[in-house]
Amino acid sequence: MTAFAEVAAAKPTELSQVLRLLTAANLPIEGVRDDLSTFIVARNGAGVTGSVCMEDYEDDVLLRSLAVDEPRRQAGIGTALVRSFLDRARQLGKKRLFLLTTTAESFFERFGFRAIDIDDVPASVKRSAEFAGCAAAGATAMMLDLERTSVPATDTSLKEDIRQKYAGVARRARGGSSGSSCCGGGATVKTEVTRDLYTAEQASCLPSAAVAGSRGCGSPAYEIELRDGDRVLDLGSGAGADAFLAAGLVGSTGKVYGLDMTEEMLSVAEEGKAELGVDNVEFLKGEIEDIPLPRAAVDVVISNCVISLVPDKDKAFSEIARVIKPGGRLSVSDIVSTEPVPDALRRDLDLWLGCLGGAITMDAYREKLRAAGFDDVRIEVRRTYDLDKLFREKMQPADGGAARLPHDGWSGRLCSAAVTAVRT
């Protein structure tokens, strides 16, 4: 049974299940019977597997009653519930979120919450029964200012958010659903970003889960000529689609390494490898800023819509240069911008997780690659995105009103591009 199939508003008929979750987690249940409409729940075929409650105080919100069924606490349910909570708070125009925790401070830091003094909590929130009881137990107060930032303050926290997102993608791919695309959650975004990445012939050579799990924005293995016997490294290989295509191009005398930091993606890729029966592909667990290969280990590095996700791009490019032989080649499909991404967009966690918020300009891409030891850097735009369209879909209020765009005039300034270079 899957950990959860959907995250949505609680139904009145689910009251007993929510009460069971809260009781098992030793969380207060006062007031829950009176109004279940403030709850968001995760469900699977067996019923409710997680819950969170939004207590409303005008501009402020109290996050409470976050509980997950104990056997499923490592399955990403808590992350999915908090993500839904944040989306709902933004749609309602809330400004500040508060919570109290005794054991999960580091978990909430991943979403941008920071510890604050109890005295800094608004009086209206402090008067809540939940807050008064937990504060008396010595809990830590935390706050997230939605107007200031939603991206975690540390690279480690951001990487964990990325890992959690792509773990969910892997689960959906294994279940036969393509789910959301690289840069968001809806059909419009999927069409905008991931359409027609592979020809019908290429897709027919791939395991279905590899295609379903692909979150790329191009076809890096086909942007350069891969040769028989080449040793190739695919960075952020995910479910394995590009690694498998590269393996076919380098032949039996070649070798392809696929590197990914997400266990669930690596598992899907290994299943695909077994299904295809290929023996010239090896999947490795690791991060782009610390590649587990020796110096000058490969002839070619490819990557599909992953560098834009990396917080420290200078370190990533330096590591890429380290593992490529002199004269070796780089082929990256990635999201780039025509001018620096504004802070209003860069701070949006959903956009960062979707490859857009972390994009850098084409000029910055060239400069960073040259500084890392690459020459003959070429960047060719393959697709240009209507960001206003993406934002309107992403931020459409629940009441059907007009979407609030955090920045106007950005249509046409974010693109997917083919980046190629040669190691000096």
Asked if residue 45 belongs to a domain, the reply is yes
My answer on whether 253 and 346 are in the same domain is: yes
My answer on whether 29 and 129 are in the same domain is: yes
My answer on whether 140 and 213 are in the same domain is: no
My answer on whether 98 and 24 are in the same domain is: yes
Alpha helices in 121-199 (DSSP H): 123-126, 129-136, 155-174, 187-194
Asked if residue 157 belongs to a domain, the reply is no
**Helix, strand, coil tally for the chain in percent (to 5):** 35, 25, 35
Q: What is the pLDDT of residues 238-275, one digit of tens each?
A: 999 999 999 999 999 999 999 999 999 999 999 999 99
Q: What is the pLDDT of residues 177-219, one digit of tens each?
A: 554 434 433 333 344 555 668 888 999 999 999 998 998 999 9
Rounded to whole angstroms, how far apart are CA atoms 348 and 137? 34
My answer on whether 144 and 187 are in the same domain is: no
Q: What is the pLDDT of residues 398-412, one digit of tens each?
A: 334 344 444 455 666
Which two three-digit tokens encode residue 221? 């293995």
pTM for this entry = 0.65
Domain of 274: which CATH number? 3.40.50.150
Which two three-digit tokens encode residue 210? 């590899």
Rounded to whole angstroms, how far apart are CA atoms 283 and 271? 11
Can you give the residue range of the structural domain that contains 25? 6-148
